[in-house]
Amino acid sequence: MSKLKVGIIGCGAIGTEIAKACQGRLKDKIGLAGICDIDESKTRALNKALAKNVPVLNLEDIIKNSGLIVEAASAAMSASVLEKCIDAGRDCLMMSVGGLLGREELLQKAKEKSIRVYIPSGAICGIDGLKSASIGKIDSVTLTTRKPPKGLAGAPYLKEKNIDVLSIKEEKTIFEGSAEEAVKGFPQNVNVSAVLSLAGVGAKKTRVKIVTSPAYTANIHEIEIAGEFGRIVTRSENLPSKANPKTSALAIFSAIATLEGIASSVRIGT
């Protein structure tokens, strides 16, 4: 059986760990076709971290030479990457899901062209239940995210509101609104709200609350879903990735598990 040829776009913390998994845990089923990043220092660092160097390709060539593209770049690029994959007839695994809100027509276009788009559940639990519940009527989906200040620093919303998150001394709610607004204001921090939106009632109806405190040591996501099925409440306490405090380790594990599922003949869960 031939290996699935995977190309990785984005060589930061997430792309690096996925690449390592492709040469480690998944090596019998997946081969790396190449890596791509606009920052050459990141591709050099990634190849240095790998057991075996892989080709560094530009965007067009990596899509052309891969059977599956892993997008781990940024919300600013993800929609463009997906569109290029669809046009080239390539399946895609999307990590920067926030960039797809407002561009949901791309998912419909992928469906029409029989292109598979994989979106990992990321740093939260309950997506399987939400997908099942969406067969019936859902009344509400609410996400409360709790992160330490350094995991939120630099977010556009904080700059716009002139909030110095690093000076906060006690627990404080810094945002309440829709998932659509949350993703725009915190593009690197609440990607999970985009996943919830696409699996459930949409970005305008999914509610998000962001709380921070210097006492927090984990990235915590609490989800409440209510509908005709009943009620689901989940809480995930995620340790930040060692390479990037804005990313939960579980989000990276989720991507690797999704890749493993793509290459496997047995699938568990909704």
Instruction: Estimate to the nearest angstrom the gap between the alpha carbon of 6 and the chain centroid.
Output: 17
CA distance 24 to 20: 6
Q: Do residues 157 and 180 share a domain? A: yes
pLDDT of residue 269: 67
Q: Given this model, what pLDDT does residue 266 score?
A: 74
Evaluate whether residue 267 is within a structural domain: no
β-pairing, 138-147 with 219-227?
antiparallel
Please indicate, yes or no, whether residues 65 and 136 belong to a single structural domain of this protein: no
Q: Which DSSP symbol is given to 36?
A: E
Containing domain of residue 234, as a range?
A: 127-245
Dihedral (Cα; 176, 179, 181, 187), 10-degree rounding: 110
Q: How far is CA 62 from CA 34, 42, 68, 97, 252, in A?
A: 6, 16, 10, 20, 21
Contact (Cβ atoms closer than 8 angstroms) between residue 95 and residue 254: no
* pTM of this structure: 0.91
Q: Which residues pair with 210 in a beta bridge?
A: 145, 175
The reply to whether 221 belongs to the active site is yes
Asked whether residue 75 falls in the same domain as residue 29, the answer is yes
Looking at the structure, tell me whether residues 60 and 86 fall in a common domain: yes
Count of domains for the chain = 2
Q: What pLDDT score does 250 carry?
A: 92
Shared domain for 19 and 113, answered yes or no, is yes
Catalytic site residue from 90, 146, 221, 246: 221
Let me know whether 213 and 255 are in one domain: no
Distances (CA, A) of 10 to 69, 79, 130, 149, 201: 11, 14, 29, 25, 29
| Confidence at residue 2, expressed as pLDDT on a 0 to 100 scale | 82
For the chain, state the CA radius of gyration. Answer: 18
Residues constituting the chain: 270
Q: What is the pLDDT along the chain (270 residues), one digit of tens a residue?
A: 589 999 999 999 999 999 999 999 999 999 999 999 999 999 999 999 999 999 999 999 999 999 999 999 999 999 999 999 999 999 999 999 999 999 999 999 999 999 999 999 999 999 999 999 999 999 999 999 999 999 899 999 999 999 999 999 999 999 999 999 999 999 888 889 999 999 999 999 999 999 999 999 889 999 999 999 999 999 999 987 877 777 888 999 999 999 999 988 677 765
Residue 230 lies in a domain: yes
CA distance 68 to 116: 9
Q: Which of 269, 270, 265 is nearest to 4 (CA)?
A: 265
Question: Quick one: pLDDT at residue 246?
Answer: 73
CA dist., res. 257 & res. 125, Å (int): 14
Q: How much is the pLDDT for 268?
A: 73
In a domain, residue 270? The reply is no
Query: What pLDDT score was predicted for residue 1?
Result: 59
Q: Looking at residue 264, what is its pLDDT? A: 80
* 207 to 167, 181, 267: CA distances (angstroms): 26, 9, 31
- Give the pLDDT of residue 270: 56
Output the six-digit token pair for 149: 């200040």
Q: Look at the block and give the residue holding tokens 């995620």.
A: 238
Please check whether residues 221 and 257 belong to one and the same domain.
no
Q: Which amino acid is it at 23?
A: Q
Is 155 in the same domain as 187?
yes
Which residue from 119, 168, 121 is spatially nearest to 146, judged by alpha carbons? 168
